Structure 1
């Protein structure tokens, strides 16, 4: 049993990346097994990681904060909690260190998952009344037997006695999660008192009064509920305090982009011309053909469908350009694997816009907002839960060749985005090679380096306000459509991990290199 202490910014970045790498491997494995029709792909992925010793901190029991896990982090599966060392049970609500590993000879609890499933539970945010385990059927329902101070219940009692803090993870129902559940890490609590007596069911129950330790980040669950209320308000065209505009895009996007500033009077995001698509030169647009390409037909399966493996046969010529010939996207529209460039079907293809190989062409689906920040001046955050691998947005601006020949009329050269400077973060997404050693090397499509710059000084969209991070939660993926010029790929942003509501988006611009 150990207590981990991480203090320096460099160490914080290091442990964050270690935690993120473990989650990326889990998500890659889960997607791999899902595409192969495995039942409970999340548990199969966990089993694989356990067998390969890829789950973090299994050789030690950490008391207090877990390195690399931040208050407010969200998880779609209980298995993920084990992967990063936050909790150590897939079903039991109380994680604890057994007596044999504690010098005092008594078990102590390290974490709990609170889902409010017991009649006697009471949750006030900073104060949580948690009912112990046992006494009811495995699949839920009312208590049919008395609880006892044993196993996890006994461990929580000794955590109270010894003053050992407990990590609290709250479980919420969530339609946007693939598991229909969302697990939010809400920080450290102290078990202030315990009691034993008749509960609302008439049976004897163990109850624990937990109080949140002051000085931590705001409750992730509180932010979760607040974001829902905010989104509902914006959906009714009600302008909350501090909002400059309800739609920076002025109807040019599939969803509105509000701008919020509760810091000062700066309104600069509203002072440029908003364009929803990058403006490329005519040389990028393929000539019109008398007949559309027969790369694919009006069939979801023919264009991938997102249900088969990347190595499966496919008649779509665009999909075959993605290296392995399989689908670029899963059935839910998330990216299967990061690639040097993703080839989507284009305007000359025979398939409709609903084709599963046209994900980015259907536009944004997540509600985002530009906001004023004391740390990053301006940033972009999400109002929705964004799943790993989901398409978020595109960088727009006025394209010019690397010699500086612009297609627009801008003569201001202060805001130039160079696609060649983005590091290959795409390599991290969907990479399960650490666990699936028998899969063979990945087949990546060959493509030329981008040969253009993007002038974002006067005409652009909100994407340029996404902040930089050395441990980003999103990444830039090059996307080419149909017969477009391969040297002028689109700059698309995809989620690197599960991004909770009100979380700021970040990508790696290559500034640390």
Structure 2
């Protein structure tokens, strides 16, 4: 999380340089990792076989350097990582982890068996193809075959949001069961290794395979009740699933993709001004009213990722003339990830995503009927399907620098999704949540409106339940037993 916070901030600064100096931006992930490495900010630096503390099967990484920083795979480019151990006669390498990135002839269709190609021997513009040699990583795999030690496997999969990049999935522990030499397409000899997943482990890569099947045919989803709970109110359908019991759906409500403001509600008595940009808004543009309100920089980087938590984020609104691909339009453009509402075992209905979610990614807004609590006091501090901005929310540090992460609500806002609402009404509480809410303001016809937008706190693997902190009423009334199951569970929530 610390790496990604720094990466997002560096990316924001590089975006400014890119817009002002015609494409001289540097890769933010490499720059951020270099800063952390030079300051010895990393963990699990001593190589080991077996699981790495703090990394769970199914965890996802969007950059190779993330895996280096947490000690999962210490090689920033090589696919085979190993340590040197004392053998019977001399020191020898022993494999600790491999990355199956798909660049070589690796069989990746079986979720429990991987046919892995050795390294070396490949051709490029300066070098002809040659036979692979039994050295370094290849020798380490051969020694691990003889020793029978556990090897961590990380699968590299295509990122649907960025065709040129990959997402890396930790798939658990494997053992090497066989090795041989065969001819590659180039005519040269390459090493092949049959690597088999150890039994009794939770799903990793297999989860991705299941999701891919559902996307091809949603009817193959076990427990499917509705293909689209939203009835086309969202651009991406939201499946309704119950594979736990016989309940056929949640309490009846009307799906609403946006916030419905009461007639008495008005966020600001001051006139709000739209920007006058004719193209996409740019960081550092002093003539852009929206950038000025955001402190001169766009709050988002590529793919709509939020850079840091702020008291308020100012987005371009419907009457801003900037283009539809402006980076400063995120929370008003609907769902970006493929969600499903599902029946949990002990907490009613919940929400999760079929897609991997990068830290800082917009997930959804809290839709429903909004009222100004200062005017309308009939909505209490607690209640199902009610979001109250006046509650006290646990503070946490998400930004890379010491900036103000407290919220600055113009008015105490209550949004009720009891009768009308969207997918956010199904998000359960957790004492260790993976999402957080951020107030987002936008202008429409010279009036200011507010969205309560949810963003990913950290990278979230597919089929992981999405949760947030419900907060505590200021009067402290009401308690319910918490079943979030996190290591930091308080035992109750209100």
- Same fold by TM (over 0.5)? yes
What residue is the counterpart of 2:41 in the other structure?
Answer: 54
2:275 to 279, 296, 310: 296
Counterpart CA distance in 2 for 1:113 and 1:345 is 41
Query: 1 or 2, which has the higher helix percentage?
Result: 1
Question: Does the aligned pair in 2 maintain the 1:132–1:208 contact within 8 Å?
Answer: yes
* Deviation for aligned residue 1:214: 0.8
Q: Does 1:251 align with 2:232?
A: yes
Give how far 1:471 is off: 4.0
3-state SS of 2:331 partner: helix
Structure 1, unaligned runs of 5 or more: 1-19, 434-440
- Equivalent position of 1:390 in the other structure: 361
**Residues in 1 aligned to 2:221 and 2:84: alpha-carbon distance in whole angstroms:** 50
Does structure 2 conserve the Cα–Cα contact (< 8 Å) formed by 1:33 and 1:44?
no
With normalisation by structure 2, the TM-score equals 0.82
> Which range moved further: 181-190 or 242-251?
242-251
Q: CA deviation at 1:178?
A: 6.7
Aligned to 2:146: 161
- For 2:344 and 2:97, locate their aligned partners in 1 and report how far apart those are by CA, in whole Å: 33
- CA, structure 1 residues 240+177, in 2 after alignment: closer, same or farther (shift >3 Å)? same
Measure the CA separation in 2 of the matches of 1:325 and 1:30.
15
> What residue number does 2:345 align with?
374
Contact in 2 for aligned 1:321/1:445 (Cα 8 Å): no
Aligned to 1:8: none
What displacement does 1:417 show?
Answer: 2.7
CA 458–473 in structure 1, closer or farther in 2 if over 3 Å, else same = same
2:71 corresponds to? 85
Aligned to 1:314: 286
Residues 91-110 of structure 1: matches in 2 within 5 Å? 91-99=77-85, 105-110=91-96
Displacement of 1:230 in angstroms is 1.0
Task: Give, in whole Å, the separation in 2 of the partners of 1:267 and 1:414.
Answer: 20
1:405 corresponds to 2:366: no
* SS of residue matched to 1:106: strand
Would the aligned equivalents of 1:398 and 1:407 in 2 still touch at CA under 8 Å?
no
Which 10-residue stretch deviates more, 164-173 or 346-355?
Answer: 346-355
Counting only pairs closer than 5 Å after superposition, residues 143-222 of structure 1 correspond to structure 2 as 144-177=129-162, 179-196=164-181, 202-218=187-203, 220-222=204-206
Which residue matches 2:22?
none
Structure 2 partner of 1:275 = 256
Pair 1:66 & 2:21 matched: no
**2-structure distance, mates of 1:140, 1:363:** 48
Matched, 1:233 2:208: no
Match of 1:340 among 305, 311, 330: 311
CA change 1:135–1:44 in 2 (3 A) is same
From 380, 385, 390, give the equivalent of 1:420. 390
Cα shift at 1:228: 2.2
Instruction: Call closer, same or farther: CA 1:95–1:225 in 2, change over 3 Å.
Output: same
Task: Return 381-390 or 127-136, whichever deviates more.
Answer: 381-390
* Match of residue 495, structure 1, among 456, 459, 468: 456
| 1:121/1:242 CA distance change after superposition, 3 Å | closer
Residue pair 1:129, 1:208 contacting (<8 A) in 2 also: yes
Q: CA deviation at 1:203?
A: 3.3
Check the 8 A contact 1:129/1:209 in 2, yes or no.
yes
In angstroms, what is the RMSD of aligned CA positions? 3.6
Distance 1:277 1:122, change over 3 A: closer
Q: TM-score, normalised by structure 1?
A: 0.79
Distance in 2 of aligned mates of 1:471 and 1:104: 48
Once residues 50 and 103 of structure 1 are traced to their aligned partners in structure 2, the CA distance between those partners, rounded to angstroms, is 35
